[in-house]
Amino acid sequence: MNSPSFNRRDFIKAGAATAAFAATASLPGSRGLMAAAAPNYGAKTIPFAVQLYTVSGAFRTDPDGTCAQLAALGFKGVEFAGYPPGRDAKAVRKMLDDNGLKAVGSHISIASMQGDQLAATIEFNQIIGNTRLGVSQTNPGAALGTGGGGRGGPAPVLIQGLTAEQIAPTGMADALTKANAAVTDARAQLNAAIFSGTADMAVIKAKVDSLAQAELTLAAARSDTIVKIQGSANKLTPEQLAGLANPAAGGRGGRGGGGPAVLASATPSTATKAEWEAVADIFNGIQAKLPAGLHTYYHAHPPDFNTINGVSTWEIFFNRTVKDVYMQLDLGHVGTAGRDHVELMKKYPGRANTVHVKPANGGGGKLVGDPTDGNLAKWPAIFAACEDKNVGGTEWYILEYDGGSMDQVVATAARFKEWGKI
pLDDT tens digits, 50-96: 999 999 989 989 999 999 999 999 999 999 998 998 899 999 999 99
Distance (Å, rounded) from C-alpha 351 to C-alpha 349?
6
Residues of the chain with CATH 3.20.20.150: 40-140+271-418
Q: What pLDDT score was predicted for residue 17?
A: 41
Q: What is the reported pLDDT for 275?
A: 86
pLDDT in tens, 289-319: 999 999 999 999 888 898 999 999 999 999 9
Please list the ranges in the chain whose pLDDT falls under 70. 1-37, 138-139, 141-158, 160, 191-201, 239, 241-270, 364
Q: Collapsing DSSP states into helix, strand and coil, what is residue 94?
A: helix
Task: Tell which CATH classification among 3.30.420.40, 3.40.190.10, 1.10.8.80, 3.20.20.150 matches the domain 40-140+271-418.
Answer: 3.20.20.150
Q: What CA–CA distance (Å, rounded) separates 213 from 176?
A: 15
3-state secondary structure of 226: helix
Cα(347)–Cα(340) distance, integer angstroms: 11
Dihedral (C-alpha) 3, 358, 206, 61: value to the nearest 10 degrees? 70
Q: How high is the pLDDT of residue 157?
A: 54
pLDDT for res 21 = 38
Q: What are the backbone angles phi and psi of residue 330, rounded to the nearest 5°? A: -90, 105
Describe the crossing of helices 89-98 and 117-128 by its angle, rounded to 10 degrees.
20
Least Cα distance to 396 among 41, 102, 26, 95 occurs for: 102
Prediction pTM value: 0.67
By residue count, the chain amounts to: 422
84 within 8 A of 61, measured Cβ to Cβ: no
pLDDT for 87: 92
Torsion angle defined by CA atoms of residues 215, 82, 351 and 278, in that order, rounded to the nearest 10 degrees: 60
C-alpha distance from residue 281 to each of 76, 120, 122, 154 (Å): 33, 22, 20, 18
C-beta atoms surrounding 197 within 10 Å: 15
pLDDT reported for residue 20: 41
Q: Which residues contact 229 (CB under 8 A, 6 or more apart)?
A: 162, 166, 167, 169, 170, 235, 236
Cα(312)–Cα(303) distance, integer angstroms: 9
Give the per-residue pLDDT at 311: 94
Segments of 256-342 assigned E as strands: 295-299, 307-308, 311-312, 326-330
pLDDT at residue 5, rounded to an integer: 43
Per-residue b or e along 95-134, where b marks 16 or more CB atoms closer than 10 Å to that residue's CB: bbeebebbbbbbbbbbebbeeeebeebbebbeebbbbbbb
Q: For the beta carbon of residue 322, count every other beta carbon within 10 angstroms.
A: 11
Amino acid 169 reads P
The predicted pLDDT at position 183 comes to 76
Pick from 212, 201, 216, 207: nearest CA to 189 = 207
